Amino acid sequence: MSKRERLDALLAERDLEAVWFARPNSVAWLTGANSVVDREADVGVAAVGYDGDGLEAVTNNVEADRLRDEELPDDVRVAAFDWYESSLAEAVADRSPDPAAADFDVPGMASVDASPLRQPLTDADVETYRELGRETAAAVEAVCRELQPGDAESEVASALRVALSARGIESPVALVGGAERARRYRHYTPTDAELGGYALVSVTAQRDGLHASATRTVAFASELDDESLADLRERHDAARTVEATALAATREFAGGGERGETAGTASDVFAAIRDAYEAVGYPDEWREHHQGGAAGFAGREWFGAPDADDPVTAPMAYAWNPTVAGAKSEDTVLVADGELEVLTDTGRWPTTAVAPREDDATVERPDVLVVGDEA
């Protein structure tokens, strides 16, 4: 089902004359445009509406020419209002037919959750995602291969942002944890602490509205004795077994790969994740951090949880991110046609074929990269 067909279905189901989107991820999903000026704002500088006939963007006179010339497709009409006379919400309310709904607060309009409309991915979304995934992984891995024990977490995070920005990719999340802080905290927001024995590097990157997440682990042979390195690898192996299990369950519950079909929900995948944690000897680790979920035009379109009823669809990207006390396994993976395709993959990072729990199919998952290991 195309994006406009989904919108037509929404209008018919809710008996609406129009639906409006002003949150940047939904504007990007619908038009490919970047409507962000202030990155701290929940709503962009334009709203895009659909009335069953076509798309129209409403924005202020400051932004209209730039959006028309550089961002919006030619078939999107642009209506401008004077910035000093109205707000975006008021301009949309004045211009829209009734009844209507919006993904932001508009006087007299019902609300709409855009996330279900963005699932599953379209063929065009998938192709864009493949390029984003490869380039995200390339940026992260290039930085990781240059790490040294004395590097500050904050310096590494800056290098990540630069490497991503050079590829036209934004970095809403750039986490870098050295050996001490990565073991203590699940969200290792970077500080001036040195990496020490090893580093966890995690990003969520965004371009064209799509989000790709990946984590890589780098250990320094000069800083870790054999026992410490073996302990890190054991926890890393446990985390990636849980991730492989989550991916296998996602494929199973995505309805056999039929477009838009679903055979299960986020809670079904979560049950498999919880069982996998117990099987690898860490039964309570799932309580310490969210486990990830569906990815797309949000870092996570939904999260797996015990009672989550979000449908598991295909084709769709998923970023599961299990953690085990200082270890994490995470990539963005496309589930389509009953297959798994790792999007955040360069083919140049060492991997191991990891077997999910109770499943014969293996999934290639990243190894701990040991720097300075002469073996």
For the stretch 146-178, pLDDT in tens is 999 999 999 999 999 999 999 999 999 999 999
Pairing of strands 18-21, 170-178: unpaired
Q: Report all structural domains of the chain as residue ranges with CATH numbers, in order of start.
A: 3-118 (3.40.350.10), 123-371 (3.90.230.10)
Rounded Cα distance, 136 and 215, in Å: 11
* Chain centroid offset of residue 38 CA: 21
pLDDT for the residue 357? 81
pLDDT score of 283: 98
- How far is the C-alpha of 86 from the C-alpha of 1, rounded, in Å? 36
One-character DSSP codes across 48-100: EEE-SS-EEEEEETTTHHHIIIIIS-TTSEEEEE-TTT--HHHHHHHHS-SSE
Starting from the edge strand earliest in sequence, which strands make up the sheet with 292-295, in order? 302-303, 292-295, 316-320, 333-336, 339-342
User: Are 368 and 236 in contact, with CB atoms under 8 Å apart?
Assistant: yes
Angstrom distance (rounded) from CA 291 to CA 200: 17
- Per-residue pLDDT of 342-375, as tens digits, reads 999 999 999 999 999 877 789 999 999 999 865 4
Check if the beta carbon of residue 314 is closer than 8 Å to that of residue 259.
yes
Query: Residue 263 has what pLDDT?
Result: 81
Please tell me the predicted confidence (pLDDT) of residue 374: 53
pLDDT at residue 358, as a whole number = 73
Residues with pLDDT less than 70, the chain: 256-262, 373-375
